Every structure is written in C-alpha cells, then in structure tokens.
Structure 1
Amino acid sequence: MVDIDDVERAARRLEGQVLRTPCVESRTLSQIVGAQVFLKFENLQFTASFKERGACNKMAQVAQAGAGQGVIAMSAGNHAQGVAYHAQRLGIPATIVMPRFTPGVKIERTRGFGARVVLHGDSLEAARAHADELAAREGLAFVHPYDDDDIIAGQGTVALEMLDEVPDLETLVVSVGGGGLIAGMAVAARARKPGIEIVGVQTARFPAMVNAVKGTHHEGGTSTIAEGIAVGAPGERTRELITRLVDDLVLVDEGDIEQAVLMLLEIEKTLVEGAGAAGLAALIRHPERFRGRKVGLVLSGGNIDPLLLAAIIERGMVRAGRLARLQVSARDVPGSLARITATVAEAGANIDEVHHQRAFTLQAAQNVDIELVLQTRGREHLATVIDALHHAGFEAGEKR
C-alpha cells in the first residue's frame, strides 16, 4: 500500500523532470461560488496533464530496472501522453492502446512523442483487454493508468505542492476516474495535514467509484465531455485508499462541467478539458457544501478537442442569452425585413443568421415567419431587443 514515504520519494524523482505548477487564488471564482478558491494549474504541464507525474515516476524506475522489450499502456489520452513522453525521454519503447473515441488531439500528440498508437474498442475496458493481449504476446511491461503503486505515488506529489504553497487549505476537491490522482493526493494530504477534508468528483454519467465506495446504484451513461474520467470500473488499490482516506464523493452533471470549462476560459483565461473542470463543477453544483471554506481545486488537464471546445462555448453563449434565436412574424411585403433588422440594430444586437419561413408556418398566407440568430450582451439585453420589436409592431419571441 502506498504511504507518504513513497510519495516523497516520487517527489524527489520528479524534481527537474515535471513542472512544479502554480497554485494560486482566483478572487473572481471565489466571489462567484462563495468559497476561497485556489487553483492548481496541472494543465500547464508539458503534456498538459497531471498524468505526467505518475508516468515519470514509473518510467524512471522501469529505466533503472532495465526496459526490456518496452512498456505498454491503455489510456484515453493523458496517461498515454505522459507514458509516451517520459518513455521517449528515457529511451524506452512505448506502445499505447487507446479507445476509438479518444479525441484526435490526444492521439496525434501521443504519436508525436514517439509511441506506437493502437486504436481498439469503444471503452477503456476493451482497450485494457487488448493491451493485456499485446503485453503477453510481445513481452511488454504493462503500465496501468491508475491502479499501480508507482503511478499513485507520483500523482500524490500534487497534494505535497499544494500544501507547501497554501498550508491552510481546508478542503481538496479532486476529479475521480479510476482514482489514481485522489488516492495519491489523499495519502500525501492525510500525512501532512490529517484534518483536511478531501472530496472526490465524478460525472453522473460514469459514477463507478461513487457506487463502489458508497454502495449506491447510480445508472451511468455512454459518453461524457469529461472523457478523461470516463472509467467504467474503479481500481482495486485506489478504491481501498479512497474508502479509507477520502471524506466524500459527489456527482456533477454535464451542464455543470460545460459551465466550469467556460468559466475557467473566460475568467482565468486558462484552457481545461472536461475532467479538469470537474472540481469547479462540484462547487457550482453544490455551493452550500463548500461555502466559506478555503478550497484547493486541481485543474487536472487541458487536452480538449477544439471542436468540442467550440461547441461548449457556443452552448454556453446560448444559456447566457448571448446567442439567441428569435422568431419574428411580419407581413410578407417589401421593406418588412429591413424594418426588423433596423430595429434589432438600433437595440444594439448583431444578427448572425436570417431565415424566412413561408411554407412551414401557421401564419396567414400573406405573412412570413422570420427566424433570427442574434448576438446580445445577455438576458437583459435580449429582453430589450424583443421589447423593441414589439414596439415596432412585430410579434416576436425567443425560440428554444
């Protein structure tokens, strides 16, 4: 079982090999959620994820013992990049098995670190089974993404650094997939500050660790924007440590994670993936649970697919009313559209799209429905635009 000595030895191995990332207060987020929030920017690592820590700790010991035929790992991306990068740095051949749903940005970066990438299956479990087959067939050493003592110890160095920077932290909020990060951090934090509260966060679509530890039966889903913590079965080592050392596990929804990604981008100007935003999502979903406390959040990774990020931004703008779809009814005569667009412009909104609907409408034959997609400053501004259209004599309303 991993103990504080293992984590401290890992910290010494990591010196000069991984970035000691900043842990700083976000005053704006603190005001929004009602807690004093400190962010640990693990998305600034060279491979943009905390996974580099455990991989570096493991690869250093593999290299010392003799690499043999090389190593093999299964991963949805961040563990893959960590293993590939540090294996390449230490001259160890690496093969990575990734599920087919893995974002392209993670696949290409893993290949860029010199690893052989094998895409197999639609889940981590299927990728794991294939990795086991390849390991046995080719004589490769398997490097588990979370259920490995060296990996757990390496991830635990995050907590050592956070408590060095902010010794009076009262709560650590950590995303949970297989549990390697929170297990390692719990070992380190409990040894350094026994009274600290440790809370794990899972997406409601993949509640495996919550179910395993709490004995609940939450039903899962098949996909999540937090693919880095989309784990169907928790680790055995990590589950034991979490059961013993972690105070609570909470669930967050997809919308909470989307909002957290967008808040970090807009407020902190930092890019995180879904799993990396899970901690902030927990503060958004359960504000009363953390109100008034000094909370440390781990921004665990920043490897997000650009198309997914674009969708999150656009959906966030819709929720905030900054991107809205209006339906305006008008007489189908020359000049009607010009009056509508002029009214919208005078109200200070910008038109993205215009669509006339003559056939699929319940309006009288001489009328037309005009659908507008607008950029506004928010809900209040949108209401002002609709009022302006009403005063101009048009029927108008937001179309959901």
Structure 2
Amino acid sequence: MPHSYIKRILDARVYDVARETPVDEAMLMSRRLGNQVWLKREDLQPVFSFKLRGAYNKMQKLTPEQLACGVVAASAGNHAQGLAMAAQRMGVKATIVMPRTTPAIKVDAVRNRGAKVVLQGDSFEDASLYAQKLVTEKSMVYVHPFDDPDVIAGQGTVGMEIVRQHQRPLDAIFVPVGGGGLLAGVAAYVKYVWPQTRIIGVEPADAACLQLALERGRRAVLPEVGLFADGCAVAQIGKEPFRVIRHTVDEVITAGTDEICAAIKDIFEDTRAIAEPAGALALAGLKKYVEHSGVQQQELLAIVSGANTNFDRLRYISERTEIGEQREAVISVTIPERPGSFRAFCGALGRRNITEFNYRYSDPGQALVFLGLSVVPGGGDLAELLADLQRQGYATEDMTDNEMAKLHIRYMVGGRAPPDLENEVVYRVEFPERPGALLKFLSGLGQRWNISMFHYRNHGAAYGRILAGIQVPRSERRQFREMLDAINYPYWEETANRAYQLYLGQSPERA
C-alpha cells in the first residue's frame, strides 16, 4: 500500500547532491486567479530538475558489486542529467540512452557530467529498448526514470519538503505527470500527512497516458505521443507509480500546447525563470482547475519540475503564449473589394490592438483578411467582437483553435491555387526534428505525384511540420495514403480544412 512509502521517503538519501528548494508565492498569478498560488521551485536544482533526487537515492541502494558494473538509463534528458551527476559524485560509470529528439541542451548537459551518451530512436520507448539491450549484453544496472520504488521515494522528498515548508494543509497540489514517479512519491507522502489536500496530476493533452489508464482501469500504451512537453512524453504510465496513484490521486487534468506556453510566461513573470514545457505543466493545470471549478481564496501549489529547454524553442513558445492565455484571437474576415473598405473595416475594429494582419486580393467582389488581435481573456470579448462585425455585414470565422491556421496558414496567406490546378490534396505531417527526417519524407513521395504546395517551418521544437499540396488523381488516393503509412510519420489530411479552402485552394468558381 502507499503507506509503505512513508519510511522509504523519510530514509531517502538525496541531500548529498540535491537541494531543498523553496516554495515561493506567485504574487501576480495569485492576484489574477483570486487564490493564493505557490510554486515549488524544482527548477533550482543543480541539474535544473527534480530528477536528481530519485536517481541518487536509487544509486545509494545499489551494492558495491552492482556499482562496479556501471549504470545505464533511458531518458529524454532530466533523469539522464540527474543520474549523470549522481554517478559522477559516486565515481561510477554511467551510460545514458537518449532519443534523437532530445533537446541539445540536455544532451550536452549529460555529457558535461561525464556520462556516455548514446542517441537511439525517436521516443523514450526506443531508447528504453536499447538500454535494456545494454543491460543484457554488458551486465550494467538499469536505473529506471520512474518505475522503481527507490526512485519514487527519492521524488517523494519533494512532497516531504512541501509539508515541512508550508506547515498547514494546502487545498490542492498540482503535479506534472510523465511516467508517474513524481506524482506517486508526492501523493503517497502528502496524502498520509494531509489527507484533506487534493492531489491533482497534470498531463500534456497529447501524452495523457495516466488518464488513459484510469479510464480503462489498467495501464495501456498510447498509439502516439506528442513531443512538445518532452519531459513528459511517455506512452505508458509506470506500473509501480500507477499502483500508488490509484489510491492517492484525486483528479487528472490535461493541458494543451497553448496552455503550457501561457504557463511558461506566467512563471517567468512571477520568478524571472524560464521553465521547460513539462516544468510549467502543473501550473497550466492549476489555472485550468481554477477556471473550471471557480474556486476562490484557496491555497494552491504547482510544482515547477524543470527548466531545461533549448533557447530557440522560446520563439515558438512566445508565438503560442497569447493564444494560450486567451489574450489573442485569430479570425478570418471577408470584406468588400472596393476603395475605402479596408479603412472602414479598421474603424469597425475600434481601438483594438492588431497583432497580425494578412491580406490578399481574392476576386473583384471581395477580399479575405487573416487577422490576429488582442482580446480580453474569458471568451466573452471575442464573441462580442464577432457578433458586432457580423451585425455590420462582415462574414467572420474564428480560427483561434484551428491548428493548421496557427501553424501554417498565417505564414502563407495569399497563395491561391491557379485555375488549371487539378486533383490537389493537402496533408499536414509531423516528424522528429533530426538530420535526414525531411529527406525521408520527400524520398517516400517518390516521383509518382507532383508537389503543388509545400511549407516547412522549423518551430524551434523537437519536431518539424510540413504542409504539402500534392496532385493525386482520385483513383490513386488509396495508394497515396498507403505510401504515407509506409513513411510512418503522423499525418492529417487537411483538404477540407476551412482555412485552406479560404486562402490557398481554388476559388469556388474554379474548383
């Protein structure tokens, strides 16, 4: 039972290398949300992540014979850095197997700690299989990033510190979830001492392996895992964490990419620290909980679990932040194509701050405007604006939640298909951002079908994105989809997407 973890956590050896991190009040966030919001600052650890705790505690439990064989782990980065530092401190050889999609800052940090790095596969699961192979072939000791009682106990010291530092029960604690080690450790300790405190796990919406397991009543493997919050990009919740979580966690919340980006900004504004996406995940869940439950005057704590992110990823994060905060909307508006109509439309917008404005001649009768503008959070302001524009005779469509519009169309407005273009289908494709990945896609297409539109943009993240138009006769579309399946990258057909039809496809009279 989870109570068995209390002694394990109290006996955990972590402070030879880890710090007792502070619990800071997020004053700006507290005022905005009408609750007292606290941040547990695990981003201030020597390796900028809580993972050091579990890795070192596990190594302290190994025998001299086991340590002499060396340790190996599979990790997307933070566990790797923790284990590398622990091994360096104890004079033990460490090999870390990391997915090729791991941010360079994490790979370099592991190497700088003296560990050997092996890049293998595109996911944690690929790296884990290779690490297990090293265990078999070289008799190395595998240190699991989350599915191990000693690792869980080490992470549980985060909960022990929260109880000691805050001294009175919190109303709720929000914990990021990848494989579940941190959530299991924190929940086991806090629920024993403060049974009235709600423990809420927060997962990325595109990597919600715990939510899937709870819905099915057993662990299951996600068919696909999103890579944005790479520290939580796990396809299956750990067996031992799940055993503990089922008895101790009150709720699980998911957060989308835009919500995570907004939380990164929130943490920066309160602390001047830049959390990684997984590090801001708990705060994104806290904000969503407050919005949906309407709680006020409560004491809420989010664990900021890490701060290891590539600098160039900040460009993408910044772009998505305002939408995640519901402070920016993206809309499409049809206006008359005649002198003075642009000025009249700007007058209809009033004094609103325009963040983006894209226009292209469409036909003699009308023009399409792709517009980004600031709105007041909450949804009511945008709805009022759209209704007002429609009352004035403007046809409007809200594109704020249209992923294709935000990722591609806003950068491509103005490229309608020519009248003689036939059989164009449009696909959006994602792939791991590593050398050769784009070439693999293009090679897979071969020379059978003509590319009629192509947009690729590096978003400073662990994955790249393509929007492509390809001329495929109707009789060959089954074979085309089979070709995409063989390339084995996630893809979505977007031919019917309204944003494509408005700005990139043929005019209705041409189609």
TM-score in terms of structure 1 length? 0.80
CA distance in 2, matches of 1:118, 1:289: 47
1:262 to 2:265 alignment: yes
Q: 1:284 aligns with which of 287, 291, 301?
A: 287
CA distance in 2, matches of 1:321, 1:396: 22
Unaligned runs of 5+ in 1: 383-394
Provide closer, same or farther for how the CA distance between residues 398 and 206 of structure 1 changes in structure 2, counting only shifts above 3 A. Answer: closer
Paired residues of 2:333 and 2:370 also in contact (CA < 8 A): yes
For residue 174 of structure 1, report the CA deviation from its aligned partner: 0.8
CA distance in 2, matches of 1:349, 1:209: 40
For residue 66 of structure 1, report the CA deviation from its aligned partner: 5.3
Provide closer, same or farther for how the CA distance between residues 318 and 34 of structure 1 changes in structure 2, counting only shifts above 3 A. Answer: closer
CA distance in 2, matches of 1:90, 1:108: 20
For residue 373 of structure 1, report the CA deviation from its aligned partner: 8.3
CA distance in 1, matches of 2:212, 2:396: 44
Match of 1:149 in 2: 149
For residue 221 of structure 1, report the CA deviation from its aligned partner: 6.7
After the TM superposition, which residues 32-43 of structure 1 pair with which residues of structure 2 at under 5 Å, given as runs? 32-43=32-43
Unaligned runs of 5+ in 2: 383-393, 400-511
Match of 1:252 in 2: 254
Provide closer, same or farther for how the CA distance between residues 351 and 149 of structure 1 changes in structure 2, counting only shifts above 3 A. Answer: closer
Identify which range, 23-32 or 283-292, moves more after superposition.
283-292
Provide closer, same or farther for how the CA distance between residues 307 and 371 of structure 1 changes in structure 2, counting only shifts above 3 A. Answer: farther
For residue 318 of structure 1, report the CA deviation from its aligned partner: 5.3
For residue 377 of structure 1, report the CA deviation from its aligned partner: 9.6
1:314 to 2:319 alignment: yes
Provide closer, same or farther for how the CA distance between residues 65 and 196 of structure 1 changes in structure 2, counting only shifts above 3 A. Answer: farther
Match of 1:117 in 2: 117
After the TM superposition, which residues 112-261 of structure 1 pair with which residues of structure 2 at under 5 Å, given as runs? 112-170=112-170, 171-215=172-216, 222-224=224-226, 225-244=228-247, 246-254=248-256, 255-261=258-264
Provide closer, same or farther for how the CA distance between residues 221 and 303 of structure 1 changes in structure 2, counting only shifts above 3 A. Answer: farther
Match of 1:299 in 2: 304
SS at match of 1:132: helix
Match of 1:390 in 2: none
Provide closer, same or farther for how the CA distance between residues 164 and 137 of structure 1 changes in structure 2, counting only shifts above 3 A. Answer: same
CA distance in 2, matches of 1:376, 1:101: 34
Paired residues of 2:355 and 2:374 also in contact (CA < 8 A): no
For residue 223 of structure 1, report the CA deviation from its aligned partner: 4.1
For residue 34 of structure 1, report the CA deviation from its aligned partner: 3.3
Paired residues of 2:208 and 2:254 also in contact (CA < 8 A): no
What residue identity is the alignment partner of 1:265? F
Paired residues of 1:275 and 1:300 also in contact (CA < 8 A): yes
CA distance in 1, matches of 2:298, 2:120: 44
Q: Deviations over 1:229-282 (max 9, x none)?
A: 2211121211111112x2323232313222212222233322112222222112
Residues paired across the two proteins, number: 387
Q: Aligned-residue CA RMSD in angstroms?
A: 3.9
What residue identity is the alignment partner of 2:299? K
After the TM superposition, which residues 335-350 of structure 1 pair with which residues of structure 2 at under 5 Å, given as runs? none
Provide closer, same or farther for how the CA distance between residues 283 and 108 of structure 1 changes in structure 2, counting only shifts above 3 A. Answer: same
Q: Deviations over 1:317-372 (max 9, x none)?
A: 35655697998989999xx99x99xx9xxx797998987x45xx2247xx9x7979
Paired residues of 2:263 and 2:283 also in contact (CA < 8 A): yes
Paired residues of 2:180 and 2:242 also in contact (CA < 8 A): yes
Q: Deviations over 1:170-217 (max 9, x none)?
A: 222111111111111122223333333222122222222223234369
Paired residues of 1:163 and 1:169 also in contact (CA < 8 A): yes
CA distance in 1, matches of 2:63, 2:318: 43
SS at match of 2:21: coil
CA distance in 1, matches of 2:327, 2:30: 24
Provide closer, same or farther for how the CA distance between residues 72 and 371 of structure 1 changes in structure 2, counting only shifts above 3 A. Answer: same
SS at match of 1:118: strand
Higher relative contact order (CA 8 A, sep 6+): 1
Paired residues of 2:353 and 2:373 also in contact (CA < 8 A): yes
Paired residues of 1:74 and 1:144 also in contact (CA < 8 A): yes
Match of 2:11 in 1: 9
Paired residues of 2:158 and 2:186 also in contact (CA < 8 A): yes
Paired residues of 1:99 and 1:126 also in contact (CA < 8 A): yes
For residue 157 of structure 1, report the CA deviation from its aligned partner: 0.5
Provide closer, same or farther for how the CA distance between residues 399 and 66 of structure 1 changes in structure 2, counting only shifts above 3 A. Answer: closer
For residue 110 of structure 1, report the CA deviation from its aligned partner: 1.4
Q: Deviations over 1:71-111 (max 9, x none)?
A: 00011111011001111122111111112222222122112
Provide closer, same or farther for how the CA distance between residues 64 and 193 of structure 1 changes in structure 2, counting only shifts above 3 A. Answer: farther
For residue 46 of structure 1, report the CA deviation from its aligned partner: 1.3
What residue identity is the alignment partner of 1:309? L
What residue identity is the alignment partner of 2:309? I
Provide closer, same or farther for how the CA distance between residues 139 and 33 of structure 1 changes in structure 2, counting only shifts above 3 A. Answer: same
Paired residues of 2:231 and 2:278 also in contact (CA < 8 A): yes
**Identical aligned residues as a percent:** 34
Paired residues of 2:327 and 2:374 also in contact (CA < 8 A): yes
What residue identity is the alignment partner of 1:307? D
CA distance in 2, matches of 1:7, 1:176: 19
CA distance in 2, matches of 1:248, 1:376: 36
Identify which range, 130-139 or 225-234, moves more after superposition.
225-234
CA distance in 2, matches of 1:399, 1:208: 31
What residue identity is the alignment partner of 1:247? V
